[in-house]
Amino acid sequence: MVRISSGRLKGRKVAASKKIFTSSDGDELRPTSSKVREAIFDIVRAEIDHALFLDLYAGTGAVGLEALSRGAEKVYFVESSLVRAKAITDYIRKTGLDDRAAVYREKAETFLQRAMRTGLKFDIIFADPPYQSDEIERALPCIAKYSMLKDHGCILVEHFSKTALPAHMQNIKKTKDYKYGGTIITLYRKEQ
């Protein structure tokens, strides 16, 4: 069971259904652990209030919901699984956060292209693609190429510790890696 750890929704359960943990194509969901979620929000503590937050590969939606709980102005959830996207939508509706959240049931690249066309930019982008996929190798260059970060924005990528991510992409630079067992959070910031 996944619970919100801080803020307005503290203690509330997020994932109630076992169906969301396996998609129709056999993709097993690996929710971000509470320890790693705490670390993520420690990293962006000074930036979360009133932030536009993108939860790419949302899964259970726990990271984006935690962002809403901690004061993000609006969270965009992107999840390709119908069951998972519906579960996130239902949870948002149940908590009365409809006006501060938007759920997109589509591939990350599709969403990023739409956001680029509409000029949408984020303060914080969190990306947690399936560890054994090449999703992040496609998504990160899109984020950089489409200038999706606001001037003082950041990207946090959760990935397997043996996955090497680029140090630099256009005007986005890796600033630090945070290691938690077999998981790494890589922090990127927009160069000024």
Domains and CATH numbers, the chain: 18-190 (3.40.50.150)
Find the mean pLDDT for residues 147-170: 89
| 178 Cβ contact partners less than 8 Å away, ≥ 6 residues apart | 39, 43, 184, 185, 186, 187
pLDDT band at residue 36 using 50, 70 and 90 as cut-offs: confident
Is residue 29's pLDDT more than 70?
no
DSSP structural state of residue 22: B
pTM of the model: 0.86
Sequence letter at residue 126: F
CA 163, CA 47: separation in Å to the nearest integer? 27
pLDDT tens column, 43-98: 999 999 999 999 999 988 889 988 998 899 999 999 998 888 998 998 899 888 89
Q: What are phi and psi of 142, to 5 degrees?
A: -65, -45
Element (H, E) at 132: none
Sequence letter at residue 159: H
3-state secondary structure of 129: coil
Per-residue pLDDT, 188? 95
- Report whether 191 contacts 172 (CB < 8 A): yes
3-state secondary structure of 185: strand
- Report whether 152 contacts 175 (CB < 8 A): no
Is residue 24's pLDDT more than 60?
no
Is residue 114's pLDDT more than 60?
yes
DSSP structural state of residue 17: -
- Report whether 158 contacts 128 (CB < 8 A): yes
Strands (DSSP E) contained in 19-121 are 52-56, 74-78, 101-104
Identify the residue with better confidence: 191 or 65: 65
Per-residue pLDDT, 174? 94
Burial of 28 (0-12, 13-18, 19+ CB in 10 A): exposed
Per-residue pLDDT, 21? 53
Share of the chain above pLDDT 90, in %: 44
Q: Which of 69, 62, 51, 112 is nearest to 88 (CA)?
A: 62
Per-residue pLDDT, 31? 60
Per-residue pLDDT, 109? 92
Is residue 128's pLDDT more than 70?
yes
Per-residue pLDDT, 12? 57
Per-residue pLDDT, 7? 61
